[in-house]
Structure 1
Amino acid sequence: MSLRPTLDFLLYDWLDAAALNERERFSDHSRETFDAVLDTCERIARDKYAPSNRIVDTQEPHFDGEKVILPQATHDAHKAFVESGMLSAAQDYDIGGMQLPYTLQAAANSFFAMASVSIGSGMLTSGNANLLMVHGTAMQQEVFARNEFSGRWSGTMCLSEPQAGSSLSDVATRAVPDGVDFQSDPLGPRYRLTGNKMWISSGDHELTENIVHIVLAKIPDADGKLVPGTRGISLFIVPKKMVDTGGALTGVRNDVALAGLNHKLGWRGTTNTLLNFGEGRFPVDGKAGAVGYLVGEVGKGLHCMFHMMNEARIGVGTAAAMLGMAGYYASLDYAKTRPQGRLVKKPAAEGASAVVKDSASPQVRIIEHADVRRMLLAQKSYCEGALALELYCARLVDEQKTGDAQAADDARLLLEVLTPIAKSWPSEWCLEANSLAIQVHGGYGYTRDFPVEQYWRDNRLNMIHEGTHGIQAADLLGRKVLMEGGRGLQLLAARMQATMARAAGVAAFAAHAQALGEALARVGSATKAAWATGNPQEALANAVPYMQAFGHTVLAWIWLDVALRSLECDAAGTAPATAGRLGATAYFFNYELPKIGAWLQVVERRDPTCTALPEDAF
């Protein structure tokens, strides 16, 4: 199956992405230029990425003592991606960009995520450069961001540490001024960093001539102590190799050393590293300490880093959706061609066994069995729904950047509320889709003869990186739905209610509209009940079930809106694609949305089961 018809419908028919060309920033573009970009990315993904997906999984990165070795297939795919210009697709013309809508860039990148997620599409590089375009100085943008957008250099984000994990309050990497004139460096105030960073994707490789690390560190106070908590964190550019103000390499290696490679369950095509900063292996100017340039203000590092983290979270959600989609397509193809078993039929005589099979009849394809169809429909509803959610969020990014003042502010706040869902929901439920894809294949799915086991392994990471499930849940219930007096939740509810109002007048969707209204009301009451005592420990004890219910409600709304638009484009509802969307919508409302009752029940009661159990009872 091809992803393209689904993308075309979501982009053009549902989100009306072509209408963005009426805005000044995108006025040079048309449906034709959008299609040309999609054509190019689809071809590169098909020709360079997909054939190498198994290669990069089996030929893991290794360190020869001098450099990290990756298979040639990775180099070839990366080169083709860079030459496509997609790293800077949404950037201004004057820095080599195409001024494409982010919506289009996100859609185009989905081809690469589905073809081989661990080869990647430069998510961290573009996110790193985008951060600098907002928070960096003009010189930092010119030297570092532009070279990242061109693909000459690549980028990372260095947050986690071995002793701290996701607890950024406990970051221990230190940054001290590099001499008395540390503020005079044209690349930014110059510091020396010492510390260790763990789980750094693409932290070392030979794909590009330099690597730009964006590093969180703390500047000691006058007594040499680190300020506790996140308010003491600053952000630094730490290049692997030193550069001058013209962007040329100086020939000096910065004091950043690869301590080791992490060997992962999936995403094996991407190096994942432990980096040592300032251990003295590569002294600069005769001194230990990795040279870093301050980005933004002292103590505002986490604020700056969230620009990259939020972008990465949407990228992670898209990757999860596309891995799920790859598994769905593979299992659908298998189900259509694999003969096994026979259908049951009505018993011939009253009182006979209800299960009767004609063993003399030929075997049927497994797609004819009800349970296989259930598993396929579940996958379709999870993965196509997740893709629609990610593209909706990408459309909000464009609205935030190019809409009028009110529309832009509404988009900003909607993104705040939806980002935890955009990251977490696909990473949970498209992983479940991958599990179902294995189940459809039966025993074959558990072997390396078929690709679905790799898709599951690759997707299992997405519930962890860029903020674990628990972190996203605490962020949603503890901050996002409460911020600005709950206005973001109110904006989202208003959009859902607008869809419900349209659906109520369509016979096929009236019951769905009512069910969605009840779910939305239940989420609202559960939010209030969770915080009824004002005790964060009680409110957040069941944050993950809350997020699961919230996410299912959002996806039910997405599916209802998509189904409405599909019927508007095909009033008879007879086209296979329309029938498929209507079927996925019905599945989600009949099988998935009812689950929220159990999840929200523990939220509303502030159920203490998990927190009250004594440690020694586990």
Structure 2
Amino acid sequence: MSLRPTLDFLLYDWLDAAALNGRARFADHSRETFDAVLDTCERIAREKYAPHNRTVDTQEPHFDGEKVVLPQATHDAHAAFVESGMLAAAQDYDIGGMQLPYTVQAAANAFFAKASVSIGSNMLTSGNANLLMVHGTELQKEVFALNEFSGRWAGTMCLSEPQAGSSLSDVATRAVPDGPDFESDPLGPRYRLTGHKMWISSGDHELTENIVHIVLAKIPDAEGKLVPGTRGISLFIVPKRMVDVQGQLTGERNDVALAGLNHKLGWRGTTNTLLNFGEGKYPVGGRAGAIGYLVGQPGKGLHCMFHMMNEARIAIGMAATMLGMAGYEASLAYAKQRPQGRPAGPAGKDAAKPQVRIIEHADVRRMLLAQKSYCEGSLALQLYCARLVDEQKTADASTADEARLLLEVLTPIAKSWPSEWCLEANSLAIQVHGGYGYTRDFPVEQYWRDNRLNMIHEGTHGIQAADLLGRKVLMEEGRGMALLAARIADTARRAAAVPSLAAHAKALGEALAQVGAATKAAWSTGDPKEALANAVPYMQAFGHTVLAWIWLDVAHRSLGGDPAASAPATVGRLAAASYFFHYELPTIGAWLNVVETRDPVCAQLPEEAF
């Protein structure tokens, strides 16, 4: 099977992406130009990425004492991606972009994630550059962001530290003014950074001539002390190699040193690094300290960084989705050709009859349909969020504001739900393969290993859950939650008029009410400790409700006014929706029960009892 028909349906029939061409920003485009972009990316992914997915898994990055060495296939794939112009696809014409809708860019990038997420689609580079386009000075945009969009330089995001993974308030990297005239540097106020960063994806490589690190660090107070908490955290541009105001390399290394490579369960083709800033290995101007240029205002680093983090979270959701989709396609192909067993008849099994293909067994079909419901539902969710990005940027003020709020509420789900349930799809793909799925003779074990990272990547499940229940559903007095509930209710109302969907519509309405009641009950005491003790079960139930809504909306559009639509793709989508409503949505009751009762068993168990 091919991803393309599913993408085309979701993009054009469900989300009506072609209608975006009626907006001034996208007026030069048409469905033909969108299709040309999808065709190009599909071809590059097929020719440059997919054939080398196993290569980059087995030939891990290594440091030869001078540089990080990657397989030639990675260099070739990166060059093809840069040549496609996809790094700047959604950017303005005047900086070399295509002014594509982000919805189309997200769909196009899906091909790369599916073909080889480990080679990647340079999401950190584009996210880094996008951050600078919003928060950087004009010269920072010109020197750093534009060189990233062109593919000449790469970008990273440096948050975590060995002693402070997700706890950003414990960041200990220091940034001190570089001399009395530090504010006069045209590239921005100039600081010297010292500290250590860990888990930095693409932190060192030779794919590009330079790497632009976006680094969180604290500026000490007047007494030279780091302020506790997140106050004082600022954001800095720290290039691997020093540059001038024309964006040319000066020939001098910045004081950023590779301290080591992490060897991971999955995503092995992407370098993951420990970096030392300011240790003196590469002194700049004869002194230790990595040169960093302040982005935005001092102490406002997290505000700027969240622009990149939210974009990265949605990209991780897409990566998880497409890894699940790759496993689904592989296990479907295997199930169609693998003979094993015989069906049971009234008189039992007839050993004299030939074996049947395993897709004819009900339990194998259950596992395949589960994968389809998880992965295609997730893909629809990711594209829906991408469409909200376009609404936020190009719609009228009221619609744009609604899109902003909806995106805030949905971002934790867009990241976390696929990273849990498309991973489950990968596990089911292994199960469909039986013992072979556990071997490297088939690709599904690698898909599972690659996908296992995504529950941790860009904020763990627990962090996403605390963000959702602790902040997103409450923000602006619950207006985002109310907007989402209204859209869910509207879908249920429309679907209720279709006999084959009426039961699903009723179930969705009941689920929405359960989530609303659990939200109120969780916060009924006003104690965050009690409310958030079961934040992950809350997020799981919330996510299942969102995915049920997505599936009902997709199913309603699939029928297109014809309740007897019988095209195989339509039948498949309707079956996946039914699977989700029959097998998945009913599970939310157990999750929400512990949320509503603020069950204390996990939070209050004495440590010694573990």
Deviations 1:489-514 (A, max 9, x none): 00000000110011010000000000
Are positions 1:86 and 2:86 aligned together?
Answer: yes
Deviations 1:455-487 (A, max 9, x none): 000000000010000000000000000000000
- Name 2:96's counterpart in structure 1: 96
Residue 360 of structure 1 deviates from its aligned partner by: 1.0
Deviations 1:265-320 (A, max 9, x none): 00000000000000000000011000000000000000000000000000000000
Amino acid in the other structure paired with 1:155: G
Q: 1:344 & 1:227 partners in 2: Cα distance?
A: 71
Moved over 6 A (4+): none
Contact 2:202–2:270 at 8 Å: present in 1 too? Answer: yes
Residue 571 of structure 1 deviates from its aligned partner by: 4.9
Are positions 1:144 and 2:144 aligned together?
Answer: yes
SS of the residue 1:230 aligns to: coil
- Name 2:223's counterpart in structure 1: 223
SS of the residue 1:346 aligns to: coil
- Name 2:7's counterpart in structure 1: 7
TM-score (norm 1): 0.98
Residue 138 of structure 1 deviates from its aligned partner by: 0.2
Amino acid in the other structure paired with 1:302: L
Q: 2:56 & 2:242 partners in 1: Cα distance?
A: 30
469, 473, 487: which one aligns with 2:461: 469
- Name 2:410's counterpart in structure 1: 418
Q: 1:503 & 1:465 partners in 2: Cα distance?
A: 36
Q: 2:485 & 2:561 partners in 1: Cα distance?
A: 25
Percent identity of the aligned residues? 85
Q: 1:227 & 1:395 partners in 2: Cα distance?
A: 40
374, 377, 398: which one aligns with 1:382: 374
SS of the residue 1:542 aligns to: helix
Q: 1:409 & 1:276 partners in 2: Cα distance?
A: 41
Q: How does 1:537-576 map to 2 (within 5 A)?
A: 537-568=529-560, 571-576=563-568
Q: 1:186 & 1:322 partners in 2: Cα distance?
A: 42
Q: 2:563 & 2:442 partners in 1: Cα distance?
A: 39
Contact 1:570–1:578 at 8 Å: present in 2 too? Answer: no
Contact 1:545–1:599 at 8 Å: present in 2 too? Answer: yes
SS of the residue 1:191 aligns to: strand
Q: 1:241 & 1:403 partners in 2: Cα distance?
A: 40
SS of the residue 1:160 aligns to: coil
578, 592, 597: which one aligns with 1:600: 592
> Tell me, which stretches of 5 or more residues in structure 2 are unaligned?
none
Amino acid in the other structure paired with 1:27: A
- Name 2:57's counterpart in structure 1: 57
Contact 2:156–2:212 at 8 Å: present in 1 too? Answer: yes
TM-score (norm 2): 1.00
Q: 1:333 & 1:297 partners in 2: Cα distance?
A: 54
Amino acid in the other structure paired with 2:103: T
SS of the residue 1:231 aligns to: coil
Amino acid in the other structure paired with 1:273: T
Amino acid in the other structure paired with 1:2: S
512, 532, 535: which one aligns with 2:504: 512
Contact 2:114–2:322 at 8 Å: present in 1 too? Answer: yes
Q: How does 1:69-468 map to 2 (within 5 A)?
A: 69-347=69-347, 356-468=348-460
SS of the residue 1:341 aligns to: coil
Q: 2:234 & 2:346 partners in 1: Cα distance?
A: 71
Are positions 1:481 and 2:473 aligned together?
Answer: yes
Amino acid in the other structure paired with 2:62: H
602, 607, 610: which one aligns with 1:615: 607
Amino acid in the other structure paired with 2:503: A
> Tell me, which stretches of 5 or more residues in structure 1 are unaligned?
348-355
Residue 192 of structure 1 deviates from its aligned partner by: 0.2
SS of the residue 2:35 aligns to: helix
Contact 1:402–1:408 at 8 Å: present in 2 too? Answer: yes
Contact 1:367–1:373 at 8 Å: present in 2 too? Answer: yes
Stretch deviating more after TM superposition (226-235 or 545-554):
226-235
SS of the residue 1:238 aligns to: strand
Amino acid in the other structure paired with 2:460: T
Contact 2:41–2:112 at 8 Å: present in 1 too? Answer: yes
Number of aligned residue pairs: give it: 610
Q: 1:65 & 1:386 partners in 2: Cα distance?
A: 42
Deviations 1:531-588 (A, max 9, x none): 0111111000000000000000000000000000000076532100000000000000
Residue 358 of structure 1 deviates from its aligned partner by: 1.1
Q: 1:550 & 1:571 partners in 2: Cα distance?
A: 29
Contact 2:498–2:563 at 8 Å: present in 1 too? Answer: no
- Name 1:498's counterpart in structure 2: 490
Amino acid in the other structure paired with 1:31: R
SS of the residue 2:524 aligns to: coil
- Name 1:353's counterpart in structure 2: none
Contact 1:338–1:365 at 8 Å: present in 2 too? Answer: yes
Q: 1:518 & 1:5 partners in 2: Cα distance?
A: 33
Q: 1:402 & 1:214 partners in 2: Cα distance?
A: 28
Contact 1:420–1:472 at 8 Å: present in 2 too? Answer: yes
SS of the residue 2:216 aligns to: strand
SS of the residue 2:573 aligns to: helix
SS of the residue 1:269 aligns to: coil
Q: CA RMSD in A?
A: 0.6
Q: 2:125 & 2:241 partners in 1: Cα distance?
A: 16
SS of the residue 1:541 aligns to: helix
SS of the residue 1:363 aligns to: coil
Are positions 1:37 and 2:37 aligned together?
Answer: yes
Q: 2:74 & 2:336 partners in 1: Cα distance?
A: 33
